[in-house]
Structure 1
Amino acid sequence: MAYQAVIGLEVHLQLRTRTKIFSACPADYHGAEPNTFTDPFTLGLPGALPTLNRGAVELAMMFGLGLSCDVSGFTQFHRKNYFYPDAPKNFQLSQYDRPIARDGHLDVDGERIRIKRAHLEDDAGKLMHPTYAPYSLLDLNRAGSALIEMVTEADIVSAEQARAFLESVQAIAQALGVSDATPEEGKMRCDVNISVHKPGEPWGTKVEVKNLNSFRSVARAIEYETARQARVLDGGGRITQDTLGWDEGGQKTFLMRTKEGEADYRYFPEPDLPPLDITPEWIEQVRARMPELPAQKRGRYLAAGVRAADAGVLSHDVALSRFYDEALGSSPAPDAQKLANWLLTNVTGALAAQEQTLAQTSLKPAHLASLVRLIDADTIGGRVAKDLLGDVMEGHDPETLVQERGLGVVTDTAAIDAAIDAAMAADPTTVEKVRGGNAKALNALFGPVMKATGGQARPDVVRARLQAKLGL
């Protein structure tokens, strides 16, 4: 009988604050020289006292509301004591038994994943281990940055579901503006708790896989660890409650340490920070500032006639959805689905080929909307529109380009008939095949006619005229 996985996630998001969570030290350290964004409190110097960042609290409240959590009216920070080089204070300030948010949920592909809690804490520094060197390097720029840690219930059952959940969390964080949520920059990290059991049997002993910094790594670690635990149990062994790391090169987990319990951290209330009262009025002020969530965007796009798959892609990408909304809001409004097609297929394809983002081009939402309207009005054909896209992405108005270059659709049936006659005269063999009943051979004549008209003839008109001339 196959084993079933039981998976819970701990997701760490670096909050988008100007300063660190407990000091006035700037938090925008990315790309800076090591150990240049520090301050007395971050370094744990004697006498340095914490000051709570109000902006971090409000971002955490907003994130909790975005996950349908209850925001706590009373919360408190505790010291989580441990000794490690990346924590100069020898403790982390976290919210132990009074998290800022709890009891939320997120629906992913029709399945509800419960959110146990979300709490604020300060980040640790970063240790680097040069290959073959007898030492490690420590960068404390990250230490003290504002983090929110979100913990799920063990409701996830597969690697695919875990990845989809993380993508949804990322989309919510980015849509709300609470975090950049970029795993490649370390602004979104994930720990996985996983156990396996056979159907109808009690859950097995869980292990924790730490510091996974990409969604792909999360999925692969879950797949590997599920298979490993099954092999151990089938071989008569037992699973111990360990903390594991993930070897990206070897695509396997490795033992880091035996899992600590809560008692090992000797939690106690932070004496230098008073408890925090969060009033209902404050919560509503934060709620009123919340932008549209991805699920709300998706519903709006579906109502406008966009296909479900395209609505999902648009609603999960802040830059794409912002661009799309502005283009759709132009007057007169273009067809919603056709606009989505052009943005998600033609534009993103061109961006990928040029290794660019939307922000790096001069493409204007109004110009893309205009291009779609020109096609819809039969002013230009699809081929001409694709030829124009490069210029449009450089900031040129498609209507002006069409006028200046005389690219309007050929409506002169005499010109189309002349092109058809020339194509038939040049390929009598195909003409005989078509007249002999091979209707598919018509495509061999269609291409030359479109080429002769510069791609400006309407394909449906060309096909109809061809069929008429060939007696179909």
Structure 2
Amino acid sequence: MAVATLLSPDILEKYQPVIGLEVHVQLLTRTKAFCGCINQYGGDPNTHCCPVCLGLPGALPVLNRQAVEFAVLASSALHCTVNEDSVFARKNYFYPDSPKGYQISQFDKPLAENGYIDVPADGGGIRRIGITRLHMEEDAGKSIHDGFADSATRTYIDLNRCGTPLVEIVSEPDLRSADEAYEYLTRLKEILLYTGVSDCNMEEGSLRCDANVSVMLKGAKEYGTKAEVKNVNSFRFIRDAIKYEIERQVEVVESGQRVKQESRLYNSGEGRTYSMRSKEEAHDYRYFPEPDLPALHVDAAWKAEILKALPELPEPRRKRLQEEYGISEQDAATFASERSFADTFEAAAKQAKSPKRVANVLLGELMGRLNAAKLTLAESPVSMAGAVQAADLLEEGKLSSKQLKGLFDIAFEKSEDFAAVYEREKPQQISDTGAIETMIDEVIAANPKQVEQFKGGKTTVSAFFVGQVMRLSKGQANPGLLNELVVKKLNAA
């Protein structure tokens, strides 16, 4: 088959992609879903498991209360309706990493249904992406494939992950592009991190995503046949995999063939998907109620108690940061993208003379240097108290932006806090009107040609005089006052 990226935009424009996402999220509980084994990533293989994890005869599961509470928190944060009664079921399949021969999950009576996430639409505005359901289940073990020099491959089984509590979040097929899917996942991760129910670490498998992708002619009434792209390990690769899969399916349809309903794997090195196996239907799993677990009952009183831990979520916080602190929409979105970062900004803003100045210092001076040095906010040599002091000095006109940059450079170079650097360097900003006017007069007298250009209507030449006075003052002249006095002096001249 030809490479899908050779398709022309005109051909692709004829088709409407239809995308739904299934996201598996490991819950950050202390113990596993149905036993007392530690819920922890890593460890020596097959050391974090017990008869319940392994499905040994006579072992009975007991539901983890904290897992239920985390699942209810996540459901409410995603605007889902939490059902008072839900039922666990056995999902039967036979893989080496599933020692019981089934997975305890939920099927026809899930914990929560009918939620949504709002995402930026491709053409501008906001699109609401429906969430069909959020249900609880346990994770399977892990197969580890090991290649050898003779090209033989051996597979090892690590059952440490068996029984890890999960929620599966299933979206409606409302997404219409790979970029919208990326935005949906970004917003979903933000919300889950705010609630604290998961660390969403994709490298450790705490968040895994399957994408169901189909295409149909625009205006058609029925969706096309979907293919499922499984277990992609980064949002960027999920976006790339969906883009490839859309183009592959369009090419299949354009060639007169039919898209197969199957599961596919994405090879990020090659940038393409490969057929894995035919896609199972629900009846293939032969679901039936789990006989060893009673129905889960979350009454109104328990739910209310759980929801006391629900924090202010990213979207309302973005709006409040804008309104309360007068910062831009973009800055508010940057701060609100991470709960701890938003908390840090708010604590600093409440101490500073100008919240907007603090925002500018944090985003314009501090974070850029931290990112370049690959440091976290907690590892910053400049403390939040130092950032507030810097913002206040700017606001009071005691430092120029140029001087501030120089002080931050020294702070990072010598791993010192801002206060110590400022006390030692003590750069002074000249705000004395008479002193600045004396320097302006000297520069005007030395540059009659530029004065004539200004008189001739070339007013932008005033920037030349500002630069010359700044050089003369060694960068210490108050910029706002200097600009005002330069224009005044030139007009008088």
* TM-score strictly above 0.5: yes
- Cα distance 1:33–1:440, how it changes in 2: closer, same or farther (>3 A)? farther
Structure 2 equivalent of residue 373 of structure 1: 392
Structure 2 equivalent of residue 199 of structure 1: 218
- Alignment deviations for residues 36-87 of structure 1 (CA, whole Å, 9 cap, x no partner): 3222322333332212111111000000000111111111211111111221
SS at match of 1:329: helix
Cα pair 1:77 1:95 within 8 Å, conserved: yes
The equivalences for 1:285-300 within 5 A come to 285-300=305-320
Cα pair 2:41 2:204 within 8 Å, conserved: no
Structure 1 equivalent of residue 8 of structure 2: none
SS at match of 1:136: strand
Structure 2 equivalent of residue 136 of structure 1: 155
Q: CA deviation at 1:34?
A: 3.2
Gaps of 5+ in 1: none
- Alignment deviations for residues 427-450 of structure 1 (CA, whole Å, 9 cap, x no partner): 666556555544334434433432
**Structure 1 CA distance for aligned equivalents of residues 340 and 322 of structure 2:** 19
- Cα distance 1:452–1:26, how it changes in 2: closer, same or farther (>3 A)? farther
SS at match of 2:333: helix
- Cα distance 1:468–1:64, how it changes in 2: closer, same or farther (>3 A)? same
Range with greater deviation from structure 2 (371-380 or 387-396): 387-396
Cα pair 2:407 2:418 within 8 Å, conserved: no
SS at match of 2:294: coil
- Alignment deviations for residues 239-294 of structure 1 (CA, whole Å, 9 cap, x no partner): 11111111111111110000111122121222222221111100111112211111
The equivalences for 1:193-272 within 5 A come to 193-201=212-220, 202-272=222-292
Structure 2 equivalent of residue 87 of structure 1: 98
- Alignment deviations for residues 341-385 of structure 1 (CA, whole Å, 9 cap, x no partner): 222232210111111111222443333223212211212111222
SS at match of 1:129: strand
Q: What amino acid maps onto 2:113 in structure 1?
A: R
Range with greater deviation from structure 2 (206-215 or 125-134): 125-134
SS at match of 1:115: strand
SS at match of 1:443: helix
Does residue 412 of structure 1 match 2:423? no
Structure 2 equivalent of residue 115 of structure 1: 131
Structure 2 equivalent of residue 307 of structure 1: 328
Does residue 11 of structure 1 match 2:26? no
- Alignment deviations for residues 159-204 of structure 1 (CA, whole Å, 9 cap, x no partner): 1111111111101001111111122332111111111111221211
Structure 2 equivalent of residue 58 of structure 1: 69
Cα pair 2:264 2:276 within 8 Å, conserved: yes
Q: CA deviation at 1:422?
A: 5.7
Structure 2 equivalent of residue 42 of structure 1: 53
- Cα distance 1:76–1:301, how it changes in 2: closer, same or farther (>3 A)? same
Range with greater deviation from structure 2 (225-234 or 420-429): 420-429
Does residue 340 of structure 1 match 2:351? no
Structure 2 equivalent of residue 127 of structure 1: 143
Q: What amino acid maps onto 1:104 in structure 2?
A: G
Cα pair 1:367 1:392 within 8 Å, conserved: no
Cα pair 2:20 2:172 within 8 Å, conserved: yes
SS at match of 1:35: coil
- Cα distance 1:130–1:434, how it changes in 2: closer, same or farther (>3 A)? farther
SS at match of 2:129: strand
Cα pair 1:76 1:269 within 8 Å, conserved: yes
Cα pair 1:170 1:181 within 8 Å, conserved: yes
Two-structure CA RMSD over aligned residues (Å): 2.3
**Structure 2 CA distance for aligned equivalents of residues 233 and 189 of structure 1:** 29
SS at match of 1:80: strand
- Cα distance 1:86–1:424, how it changes in 2: closer, same or farther (>3 A)? farther
The equivalences for 1:346-361 within 5 A come to 346-361=365-380
**Structure 2 CA distance for aligned equivalents of residues 60 and 72 of structure 1:** 12
**Structure 1 CA distance for aligned equivalents of residues 389 and 250 of structure 2:** 57
**Structure 2 CA distance for aligned equivalents of residues 352 and 80 of structure 1:** 45
Q: CA deviation at 1:222?
A: 1.3
Cα pair 1:29 1:37 within 8 Å, conserved: no
Gaps of 5+ in 2: 1-12, 121-125
- Cα distance 1:253–1:420, how it changes in 2: closer, same or farther (>3 A)? same
- Alignment deviations for residues 63-118 of structure 1 (CA, whole Å, 9 cap, x no partner): 00001111111112111111112212221111111111111112223211111100
**Structure 2 CA distance for aligned equivalents of residues 151 and 98 of structure 1:** 14
**Structure 2 CA distance for aligned equivalents of residues 182 and 334 of structure 1:** 38
Cα pair 1:162 1:219 within 8 Å, conserved: yes
- Alignment deviations for residues 286-309 of structure 1 (CA, whole Å, 9 cap, x no partner): 112211111221121121222112
SS at match of 1:375: helix
Range with greater deviation from structure 2 (367-376 or 131-140): 131-140
Number of equivalenced pairs: 468
Cα pair 1:194 1:208 within 8 Å, conserved: yes
Match for residue 350 of structure 2 among 316, 324, 329: 329
Cα pair 2:32 2:39 within 8 Å, conserved: yes
Range with greater deviation from structure 2 (14-23 or 403-412): 403-412
Does residue 160 of structure 1 match 2:213? no
Q: What amino acid maps onto 1:235 in structure 2?
A: S
Structure 2 equivalent of residue 174 of structure 1: 193
SS at match of 1:98: coil
**Structure 2 CA distance for aligned equivalents of residues 395 and 319 of structure 1:** 23
Q: TM-score, normalised by structure 2?
A: 0.89
SS at match of 2:428: coil
SS at match of 2:128: strand
Cα pair 1:417 1:465 within 8 Å, conserved: yes
**Structure 2 CA distance for aligned equivalents of residues 19 and 452 of structure 1:** 67
**Structure 1 CA distance for aligned equivalents of residues 472 and 322 of structure 2:** 40
Cα pair 2:357 2:394 within 8 Å, conserved: no
Q: What amino acid maps onto 1:144 in structure 2?
A: G
Structure 1 equivalent of residue 86 of structure 2: 75
- Cα distance 1:261–1:431, how it changes in 2: closer, same or farther (>3 A)? same
- Cα distance 1:237–1:334, how it changes in 2: closer, same or farther (>3 A)? farther
Cα pair 1:326 1:366 within 8 Å, conserved: no
Does residue 190 of structure 1 match 2:209? yes
Q: What amino acid maps onto 1:302 in structure 2?
A: Q
SS at match of 2:259: coil
Q: What amino acid maps onto 1:95 in structure 2?
A: Q
- Cα distance 1:326–1:417, how it changes in 2: closer, same or farther (>3 A)? same
- Cα distance 1:249–1:362, how it changes in 2: closer, same or farther (>3 A)? same
**Structure 2 CA distance for aligned equivalents of residues 364 and 383 of structure 1:** 20
